[in-house]
Amino acid sequence: MPMSEWWSYHPADFLMFSLHVYERLFVLHNQALWPAQLLALTLGVGLLLALWQPRAGPLRLVVPLLATGWLFVAWAFLWQRYVPINWGIRYVVPLFVLQALLLLVLSQWRGGLVLSPQRLTPRTFGLGLVAYAVFLHPLTALLNDHGLASAEVVGLTPDPLAIATLGLAALARSARRGWALLIIPLLWCLISAATLQLLEAPGAWVPLLAAAIAVVARLMPHG
């Protein structure tokens, strides 16, 4: 296609499915996984506690669990449910696998992941993102027609998983490791925000705001 033609497209022309179909993905996903949501929420609380008072032992445990979440979502949600209605997502699946590997390697390699509890602002932003992903993001389903049946639960669906990981990346003391962990969740949040915006979904700005907060937190000194 000539480059000039790309400018003649309306963003909505790239949309392949309706908001109703997209929301139904989460309804069916939740029905298929119930009661795994309870376990996922429990693990989410565990992640938040481990990041609240970071110690090497718990971190070495919860970060691999987060990595498992990336692998699970790549397979169970993206590949099984999302790719059939959006073929472009097949190119995103390897990125989720790469993010899982990054989490595994960076949480175990050369002393593991060290967080920076001293600085108040990045700590507040980082923990705030994780707390939002675990407790509040599922409630955004109340804004749509399906209610909590379509709740997006951390560890089982991509948006809260990416936002929680942004929180972790914002907290990392090492800038290099922090940025390495931030890129793919950031990319996903941009994809998700664009999709939700095109679908005219309520809360389309949420992933965008989460990404912005994580970047700001990451740019702050971590001591």
Interacting residues with another protein (CB under 8 A): 1, 5, 8-9, 12-13, 15-18, 20-21, 24-25, 28, 81, 84-87
Residue with smaller CB distance to another protein, 10 or 55? 10
Long-range contacts from 19-23, C-beta under 8 angstroms, 24+ separation? 19/144, 19/199, 19/200, 19/201, 20/145, 21/85, 22/85, 22/195, 22/199, 22/201, 23/144, 23/145, 23/146, 23/150
CA dist., res. 63 & res. 177, Å (int): 13
Of 3 and 120, which CB lies nearer to another protein in the complex structure? 3
Q: Which residue's entry shows tokens 């003649």?
A: 8
Closest CB 9 distance from another protein, rounded Å: 7
CB of 192 to another protein, least distance (A): 18
CA–CA separation, 98 and 1 (whole Å): 31
CB of 151 to another protein, least distance (A): 17
Pick between residue 13 and residue 176 the one whose CB is nearest to another protein.
Answer: 13
CB of 125 to another protein, least distance (A): 36
H or E element at residue 144: none
Using the minimum distance from each CB to another protein, give the nearer residue, 25 or 130.
25
Pick 14 or 109: Cβ nearer another protein = 14
β-strand partners of 172: 115
Q: How far is the CB of 34 from another protein (least distance, A)?
A: 17
